[in-house]
Amino acid sequence: MIDAIDAAIQVASSGLQAQSTRLRVVAENMANANSTSTVPGGNPYARKTVTFEDEMDRTAGVDLVHVRNIGVDTTPFKIEYDPSNPAADSKGFVKMPNVNLIAEMADMREANRSYTADLEVIKQGRQLYTMTIDLLRNSA
């Protein structure tokens, strides 16, 4: 039984780390949703993406999740006409980041729920350990 609890905690811990990275990347995307280039006609902030992979931990016999890659979204930048912007090209157009705040909010919500679920698994595992120790103490 202890091995099963250890495995559950280990899987949940790997999920916590992965979702923490995902939340950090989403926060970075949201913070830079209006960040334009520092030079006229230059590219603005490009949305970042997180890719996960599962990896078998052979010693514990469980699949763990890890961040495989933090990549860059290749969706085209939005173009806005704003000749007064320092990042505007010679025709007055400014490239805006390819960050969709609604999609980022949805991603943040999903990552937050996954993080909370992983945290609850760890909490339950700790409670099971405590209950098992209490049972062993009382039976001795």
**DSSP letter string, 14-33:** HHHHHHHHHHHHHHHHHHTT
pLDDT for 25-79, tens place per residue?
999 999 999 999 989 989 999 999 999 999 888 877 888 999 999 999 999 999 9
Give the chain's domain count: 1
Residue numbers of the domain that contains 99? 2-139
DSSP 96: E
pLDDT above 70 (res 1)? no
User: pLDDT tier at 3 (50, 70, 90 boundaries)?
Assistant: confident
**DSSP letter string, 36-94:** --SSTT------EEEEEEEEEETTTTEEEEEEEEEEE--SPPEEEE-TTSTT--TTSEE
Query: Quick one: pLDDT at residue 99?
Result: 97
CA–CA gap between residue 57 and residue 78 (Å, rounded): 43
Query: Quick one: pLDDT at residue 2?
Result: 61
